């Protein structure tokens, strides 16, 4: 039976006052409330819910409008930033349900192509927005909004829609930290929709004299950062010609996503509010971070006995083990030297951060190596500690370097420490989960790399895992792919996924203490890029 | 061979012409061919499905109504009619003389199945011959009209949640598998469409890969150009019509009308400007218009 006659649910808190005056009054109440509370965008969903709860405590008569309050608080948080964004970088999303029943317009995948026939109010709104320079989309449902928001490129969205559609798009807007203002329709039934035009016009025209500089175009920045790793530039920074140095430069120059230098520079840009021009100090710090990273890869490849990286022979395969070990050490030395000679203001602080990270990394690696020789399953807590030690420091160095160079204070550095820890763990859990989503398990699984999913399996089904591990040790290769198909593995993966989202959440929560919205926006976006949603 | 005739009148919407329904009814009555008139099949099949028992069990059924594909999948979606039984669906305006003349006369009195609910039955019907289970509709619909069965089949599980006149999910369906029988346009109404609906641009993909802002600017520009062409086409058609009718082409005289709101506006005197309207400035001899 496919056709059913379910009833429509009506939720409390869904209501909307039906006059512009009342809406204005609520906006004023929020402004008064915000004057006494620090509200730094982007707000997390919990923060928005918290603030709307506080408002209802102050004004109990507003309880009918809980969802509307959440929307309006979020609007308030973004208002100033939106005002600093040029009109031609803003996207106006209008709902198709504005249109007349006899609308002659055609559609493309993004939405309705308004012919401005004048049957409905759309023409009027669109031509106003056009005059200002907006990009306008008239869409049905929330597909267009989702695509735009998740593209990671959109700098600002003004959205008109029903509360339902905002509930859908809000989590995405939060994830991508897109400055946005949402103007709710008076009704939720998808036809003959009306909006408070006074409010809409006010928002559309809102514009500060000065531009907001907080938007960081990560793709563009990546291009600049990559150029610092040209052979010519590296040779200049290394300033010594020798065969070993050449090997090191080649190794650094070839391939690499330059994630860490990118993160560092983005944080620097977010905190200083400028971009485009980078002096030698920043470039040297970026190269030093990459030196540490590339050195750790050389050593990792030796330890893991990997023959290939980026589809090419690893350094100890191309040359030999002693040469590779030595080139790794050389890069570590250069890394520290470059910090020392960078000309940065806070060299001592940079040295402290880099050396602590170096130590933690070795401790994490050490725990893993010692575990390898005993072959026992680790507890979840041990795994998390290894994950945190092995991965978080690399992120932390990059973030802290950017912050320190931008003269950030201790509280920003504390937030970064907390954020990096959660980010590093989330990154590793995600990586571990990816292994389990393959059709076959990679060689060395669970013998070379500790896995959270198998630890969970072992905690829940010790007998099954022991049998598995016994067969594994006896060299029964079939066990590798077999484990992927167990029902139990599925359950363990679910648990790991929950832990993943908890750590992502933790990373997001740590940001609530930041007072710089630019940095808050950047770190929110980075989290999503580094640990993407599956 | 005795076929059982059903006619759906689409009374809750008027998707089909009342005249066509009357004409068909009259023809059948004149020939003394029995039939069952269903006031609104979309409504009855959802609200009072048992009323359609005769349709589900008819050995050899012929159904007249809106788009054949819409009716077929509406009935199939109900899961009540045995698929082994022969069923033919025709649009009420289809050529059907041959069919009707082949029907047996004297097969009984006309019956009527009423639909008396206030609710306008507007909800999607899935064409499972096309649906590939991608779940775009499921994620798209704001009102949880769709859900997924354990075997992965996407189903319309909360029809009543669907918003009147919103066919949005049908537009996002990459297979054009969603039908709203009461929608005005083909292929969303179950018609075959004109093929243009398959010409999907890759704009969504472009947005993900290229610069969003330049993609949006280009989209707007292209659209404006196409509007211009449309205007020209319209003009061309009007001109052609004028030629065919052979009428004298009237010299278009633009009536220059002033848009001020002074007293003299509609007076004939304005033309010569010898009115004594007070909008005349100083000793100038002409009015504001």
- End position of a domain, from candidates A312, A344, A376: A344
Q: Is A313 on the interface with B (CB under 8 A)?
A: no
Q: What range does the domain containing A182 cover?
A: 20-205
Strand B154-156 to B146-148 pairing: antiparallel
The domain made up of B123-199 is a member of CATH 3.30.70.20: yes
d(CA A528, nearest CA chain B) in Å: 16
Quote the pLDDT of residue A115. Answer: 85
Give the tens place of pLDDT for each residue, A137-168: 998 777 788 888 888 889 999 999 988 888 88
Last residue of a domain, one of A329, A344, A359: A344
Please state which of the ranges A236-250, A257-271, B90-104, B248-262 shows the lowest mean pLDDT.
B248-262
* Of residues B58 and A356, more confidently modeled: A356
Q: What is the pLDDT of residue B240?
A: 62
Q: Quick one: pLDDT at residue B235?
A: 66
pLDDT for residue A498 is more than 50: yes
Whole-angstrom distance, CA of residue A512 vs CA of residue A330:
40
- 8 Å CB contact of A2 and B207: no
pLDDT of residue A442: 64
Put simply, whether A97 touches B (Cβ < 8 Å) is yes
Do A312 and A422 fall within a single domain? Answer: no
Residues A436 and A505 in one domain: yes
Give the alpha-carbon dihedral of A405, A409, A411, A414, to 10 degrees: 30
- What pLDDT is attached to residue B248? 45
Count CB-CB contacts under 10 A for residue A339: 23
Is A40 in the same domain as A67?
Answer: yes
Pairing, β A308-309 against β A312-313: antiparallel
Q: Is A102 on the interface with B (CB under 8 A)?
A: no
CA distance B193 to chain A (A): 14
Task: Kindly state whether A154 is in contact with chain B, defined as any CB-CB distance less than 8 angstroms.
Answer: yes
Q: Which residues contact A248 (CB under 8 A, 6 or more apart)?
A: A238, A327, A330, A331, A334
Q: Are residues A300 and A338 in the same domain?
A: yes
Which residues are CB-neighbours of A477 under 8 A, at least 6 positions away? none
Rounded to a whole number of angstroms, the distance from the CA of A177 to the nearest CA of chain B is 17
DSSP designation for A195: B
Weakest-pLDDT range from A284-298, A356-370, B134-148, B234-248: B234-248
Using CB atoms, which residue from B47, B142, B211 is nearest to A142? B142
Is residue A178 located within the same domain as residue A41?
yes
Contact between A498 and A456 under an 8 Å Cβ cutoff? The reply is: no
Using alpha carbons, select from A428, A351, A350, A353 the residue that is nearest to residue A389.
A428
Q: What is the rounded average pLDDT of the residues A183-193?
A: 84
Beta strands in B114-182 (DSSP E): 125-126, 146-148, 154-156, 178-179
- Nearest residue on chain B to A150, alpha-carbon basis: B208
Is residue A139 a part of any domain in this protein? yes
Question: What is the domain count for chain A?
Answer: 3
| A97 contacts B166? CB cut-off 8 A | yes
Q: How confident is the model at residue A70 (pLDDT cuts 50, 70, 90)?
A: very high
Query: Given an 8 Å threshold on Cβ–Cβ distance, is B163 in contact with A6?
Result: no
A87, A117, A141, A146, best to mutate vs chain B, most B CBs in 10 Å: A141
pLDDT of residue A111: 86
Q: What is the structure's pLDDT at A9?
A: 41
- The domains of chain B are located at 4-113, 123-199
Query: Model confidence over A85-142: pLDDT tens digits?
Result: 999 999 999 998 888 878 888 888 888 888 888 888 898 999 999 999 999 999 877 7
How much is the pLDDT for A293?
A: 94
Long-range (24+ apart) CB contacts under 8 A made by A367-371 are: A368/A449, A368/A450, A369/A303, A371/A450
**pLDDT-derived band of residue A213, with 50, 70 and 90 as boundaries?**
confident
* Contacting residues of B for A112, CB less than 8 Å apart: none
**Residue A79 contacts B where some CB pair is shorter than 8 Å:** no
What's A460-515 look like in SS3?
HCHHHHHHHHHHHHCCCCHHHHHHHHCHHHHHHHHHHHHHHHHHHHHHHHHHHHCC
For residues A105 and A189, membership in a common domain is answered with yes
Whole-complex ipTM: 0.77
Looking at the complex, report in whole angstroms how far the Cα of residue B99 sits from the nearest Cα belonging to chain A: 31
* Spatial distance between the Cα atoms of B176 and B124, rounded to a whole number of angstroms: 12
Q: Is the pLDDT of residue A447 over 70?
A: no
CA-CA-CA-CA torsion sign (B72, B77, B82, B84): positive
CA dihedral B124, B128, B129, B134 (to 10 degrees): 90
pLDDT given at position B275: 52
B88 neighbors B61 (Cβ within 8 angstroms): yes
Q: For residue B199, what pLDDT is reported?
A: 53
**Would residue A513 be called left, alpha or beta, if left means φ above 0 and alpha means ψ between -120 and 50 degrees?**
alpha
pLDDT in tens, chain B (289 residues): 578 899 999 988 778 888 889 988 888 888 888 899 999 999 999 988 899 998 888 888 999 999 999 999 999 988 888 878 888 999 988 877 888 888 777 767 888 898 888 888 999 999 999 998 888 788 777 788 999 888 888 999 998 888 887 887 887 787 889 999 998 888 889 887 765 555 556 777 788 778 889 899 988 888 887 777 777 667 666 666 666 665 444 444 444 444 555 555 544 444 444 555 555 555 555 555 4
Contact A439/B at CB under 8 A: no
Give the tokens for residue A156.
């600002």
Which residues have a Cβ under 8 Å from the Cβ of A351 and sit 6 or more positions away?
A: A336, A339, A340
Alpha-carbon distances of A384 from A33, A51, A303, A498, rounded to whole Å:
41, 33, 21, 14
- The nearest CA of chain A is from the CA of B121 a distance in Å of 11
**Same domain? A184 vs A254:** no
- Which chain A residue lies closest to B155 (C-alpha atoms)? A2
- The Cα of A131 is separated from the nearest Cα of chain B by a number of Å equal to 13
d(CA B160, CA A3): 10
What residues have CB less than 8 Å from A439, skipping those under 6 apart?
A: A481, A484
Q: Which residues on B lie below 8 Å from A162 (Cβ)?
A: 142
- CATH code of residue A336: 1.10.600.10
Region A487-502: mean pLDDT is: 93
- Residue B267 CA to residue A164 CA, distance in Å, equals 56
Give the global pTM. 0.74
H-state helical runs in A140-196: 143-150, 163-176
Residue A227's nearest CA partner among A270, A293, A292, A282 is A282
Question: Does A165 lie in the same domain as A133?
Answer: yes
In a domain, A192, yes or no: yes
Look at A5-9, A13-17, B44-48, B188-192 and tell me which has the smallest mean pLDDT: A5-9
**Using CA atoms, how far apart are residues A261 and B267, in angstroms rounded to an integer?**
79
Q: What whole-number distance in Å separates Cα of residue A405 and Cα of residue A263?
A: 13
* Residue in A88, A97, A109 to test binding to B, most B beta-carbons within 10 Å: A109
Subunit contact A109:B208, Cβ cutoff 8 A: no
Among residues B15, B212, B113, the alpha carbon closest in space to that of A215 is found at B212
C-alpha to C-alpha distance for A190 and B141, rounded to whole angstroms = 12
Structure tokens at A29: 């109440």
Does A323 share its domain with A367? no
Q: Is the minimum CB–CB distance between A96 and chain B shorter than 8 Å?
A: yes
Mean pLDDT for all residues in chain A: 89
Answer left, alpha or beta for residue B137, where phi above 0 means left and psi between -120 and 50 means alpha.
alpha
Question: How many interface pairs between A and B have CB atoms less than 8 angstroms apart?
Answer: 101
Q: What is the mean pLDDT of residues A457-464?
A: 91
Q: Do A107 and B142 touch (CB under 8 A)?
A: no
CA distance B219 to B210: 13
pLDDT at res. B14: 77
- Based on the fold, state whether residues A324 and A419 are members of the same structural domain: no
* Domain final residue pick, A171, A205, A239: A205
Same domain, A41 and A153: yes
Give the residue from B15, B49, B74, B142 with the most A CB atoms within 10 Å of its CB, the best one to mutate. Answer: B142
Same domain membership, residue A228 and residue A182: no
Q: For chain A, what's the residue count?
A: 534
| Closest B-chain CA to A168 | B142
* CB A108 within 8 Å of CB B219: yes
DSSP B35-70: EEEES-HHHHHHH-GGGGHHHHH-SEEEEEES-HHH
Q: By C-alpha distance, which of B22, B67, B23 is closest to B41?
A: B67
Residue A10 lies in a domain: no
A308-312 long-range contacts, CB within 8 A, separation 24+: A310/A254, A310/A255, A312/A254, A312/A255
């Amino acid at each position: 039976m496919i056709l059913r006659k379910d009833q429509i649910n009506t939720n409390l808190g869904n209501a909307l006052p039906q006059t512009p005056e009342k809406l204005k009054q609520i906006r004023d109440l929020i402004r008064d409330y915000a004057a006494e509370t620090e509200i730094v965008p982007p707000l997390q969903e919990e923060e928005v819910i918290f603030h709307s709860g506080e408002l209802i405590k102050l004004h109990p008569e507003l309880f009918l409008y809980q969802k509307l309050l959440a929307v309006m608080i979020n609007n308030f948080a973004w208002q100033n930033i939106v005002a600093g964004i040029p009109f031609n970088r803003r996207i106006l999303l209008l709902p198709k349900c504005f249109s007349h029943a006899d609308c002659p317009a055609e559609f493309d995948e993004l939405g309705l192509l308004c012919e401005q026939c004048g049957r409905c109010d759309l023409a009027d709104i669109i031509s106003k927005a056009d005059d200002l320079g907006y990009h306008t989309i008239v869409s049905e449902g929330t597909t267009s909004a989702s695509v735009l928001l998740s593209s990671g490129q959109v700098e600002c969205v003004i959205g008109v829609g029903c509360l339902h559609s905002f509930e859908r798009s809000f989590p995405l807007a939060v994830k991508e930290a897109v400055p946005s203002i949402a103007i709710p329709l008076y009704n939720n039934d998808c036809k003959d929709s009306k909006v408070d035009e006074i409010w809409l016009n006010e928002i559309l025209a809102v514009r500060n004299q000065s531009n907001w500089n907080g938007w960081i175009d990560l793709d563009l920045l990546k291009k600049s950062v990559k150029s610092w790793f040209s052979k010519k530039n590296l040779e200049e920074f290394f300033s010594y010609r020798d065969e070993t140095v050449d090997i090191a430069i080649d190794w650094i120059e070839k391939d690499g996503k330059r994630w860490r230098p990118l993160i560092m520079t983005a944080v620097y840009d977010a905190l200083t509010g400028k971009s485009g021009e980078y002096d030698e100090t920043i470039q040297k710090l970026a190269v030093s971070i990459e030196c540490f990273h590339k050195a750790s890869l050389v050593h990792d490849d030796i330890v893991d006995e990997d023959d290939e990286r980026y589809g090419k022979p690893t350094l100890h395969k191309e040359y030999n083990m002693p040469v590779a070990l030595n080139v790794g050490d050389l890069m570590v030395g250069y890394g520290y030297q470059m910090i020392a000679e960078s000309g940065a203001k806070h060299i001592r602080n940079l040295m402290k951060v880099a050396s602590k990270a170096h130590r933690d990394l070795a401790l994490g690696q050490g725990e893993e190596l010692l575990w390898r020789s005993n072959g026992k399953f680790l507890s979840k807590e041990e795994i998390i500690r290894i994950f945190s030690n092995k991965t978080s420091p690399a992120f932390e160095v990059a973030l802290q370097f950017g912050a320190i160079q931008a003269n950030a204070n201790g509280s920003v550095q504390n937030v970064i420490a907390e954020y990096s820890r959660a980010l590093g763990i989330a990154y590793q859990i995600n990586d571990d989960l990816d292994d389990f989503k393959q059709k076959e398990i990679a060689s060395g699984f669970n013998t070379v790399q500790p896995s959270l999913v198998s630890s969970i399996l072992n905690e829940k089904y010790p007998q099954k895992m022991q049998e598995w591990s016994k067969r594994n040790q006896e060299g029964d290769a079939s066990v590798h792919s077999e484990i992927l198909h167990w029902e139990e593995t599925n359950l363990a993966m679910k648990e790991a996924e929950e832990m993943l989202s908890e750590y992502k959440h933790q990373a997001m929560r740590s940001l609530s203490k930041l007072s710089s919205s630019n940095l808050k926006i950047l770190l929110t976006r980075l989290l999503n890029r580094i640990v993407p949603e599956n | 061979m005795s076929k059982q005739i059903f006619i759906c009148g689409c009374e809750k919407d008027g998707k089909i012409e009342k005249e066509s329904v009357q004409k068909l009814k009259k023809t059948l009555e004149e020939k003394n061919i029995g039939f069952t008139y269903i006031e609104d099949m979309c409504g009855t099949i959802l609200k009072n499905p048992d009323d359609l028992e005769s349709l589900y069990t008819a050995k050899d059924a012929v159904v007249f109504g809106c788009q054949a594909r819409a009716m077929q999948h509406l009935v199939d979606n109900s899961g009540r009619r045995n698929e082994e039984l022969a069923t033919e669906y025709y649009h009420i305006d289809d050529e059907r003389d041959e069919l009707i003349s082949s029907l047996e006369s004297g097969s009984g009195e006309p019956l009527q199945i009423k639909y008396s609910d206030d609710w306008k039955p507007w909800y999607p019907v899935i064409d499972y011959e096309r649906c590939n289970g991608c779940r775009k509709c499921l994620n798209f619909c704001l009102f949880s009209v769709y859900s997924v069965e354990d075997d992965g089949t996407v189903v319309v599980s909360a029809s009543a949640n669907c918003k009147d006149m919103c066919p949005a999910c049908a537009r996002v369906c990459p297979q054009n598998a969603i039908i709203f029988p009461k929608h005005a346009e083909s292929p969303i109404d179950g018609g075959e469409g004109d093929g243009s609906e398959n010409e999907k641009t890759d704009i969504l993909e472009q947005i993900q890969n290229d610069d969003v802002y330049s993609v949006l600017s280009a989209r707007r520009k292209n659209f404006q150009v196409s509007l211009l062409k449309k205007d020209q086409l319209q003009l061309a058609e009007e001109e052609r019509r004028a030629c065919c009718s052979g009428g004298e082409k009237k010299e278009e005289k633009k009536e220059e009308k002033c848009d001020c709101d002074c007293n003299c506006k509609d007076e004939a005197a304005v033309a010569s400007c010898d009115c004594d309207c007070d909008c005349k400035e100083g000793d100038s001899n002409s009015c504001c218009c």
